[in-house]
Amino acid sequence: MRVVLQRVSHASVAVAREVVGQIDLGLLAFVGIGPEDSEKEVIQMCDKIAGLRIFEDDQGKMNLSLQDVQGEILIVSQFTLWGDCRKGRRPSFTDAASPEIAEPLYEQFVTEMAVRGVRVATGAFGADMQVTIVNEGPVTMLLESW
């Protein structure tokens, strides 16, 4: 599993020019599912994201988590995180999980974040989406399952 995580003061996602999810203070998570991913990776990643200390405290140090600041998360499916650009000029996406594998794990990811007490908004799995963000910092983290 690969996740690109961005700290935001606002983010929204639209499908066919209609906003389907939006948040204010929190995180935007682009989530890419690999073919070997399972429930175990989803749980580990959600634990990591909910507790990751990338929000500033009163002294301006990144010392607070999403849960600490009572932030929100916008979760967007992103199979292109598995794009392989090593050969040629056109990415190969053969390393991404098939939709039959990825969609249930994506839905579980959404559920697991909500279970951790985080307000969740989402995009639409498999749709062509337009994402608008105000990245704070900027702070962008790349997380991979272990």
pLDDT of residue 19: 98
From 30, 55, 79, 125, active-site residue: 79
- How far is Cα 146 from Cα 37, in angstroms, rounded to an integer? 10
* β pairing state of 72-77 and 119-122: parallel
Please give the model's pTM, rounded to 2 decimal places: 0.95
Are 76 and 29 in contact by the 8 Å Cβ rule? The answer is: yes
Classify residue 117 by burial, with Cβ atoms within 10 Å: 0-12, 13-18, 19+: exposed
What is the domain-level CATH number for residue 78?
A: 3.50.80.10
pLDDT of residue 146: 78
pLDDT, averaged in runs of 10, over the chain (146 residues)? 98 97 98 97 98 97 97 97 94 95 98 97 96 96 93
125 is known as an active-site residue: no
59 is known as an active-site residue: no
Q: Which domain holds residue 34?
A: 2-144
- How far is Cα 97 from Cα 41, in angstroms, rounded to an integer? 14
pLDDT of residue 94: 92
Count of domains for the chain: 1
79 is known as an active-site residue: yes
Closest CA to 34 of 86, 90, 83, 69: 83
pLDDT of residue 120: 98
From 6, 30, 55, 78, active-site residue: 78
- How far is Cα 42 from Cα 44, in angstroms, rounded to an integer? 6
CA distances in angstroms from 125 to 59, 115, 128, listed in the order given: 39, 20, 9
pLDDT of residue 111: 98
The H-or-E segment that residue 119 falls in is strand 119-122
Structure tokens at 113: 């974040």
From 70, 80, 111, 130, active-site residue: 80
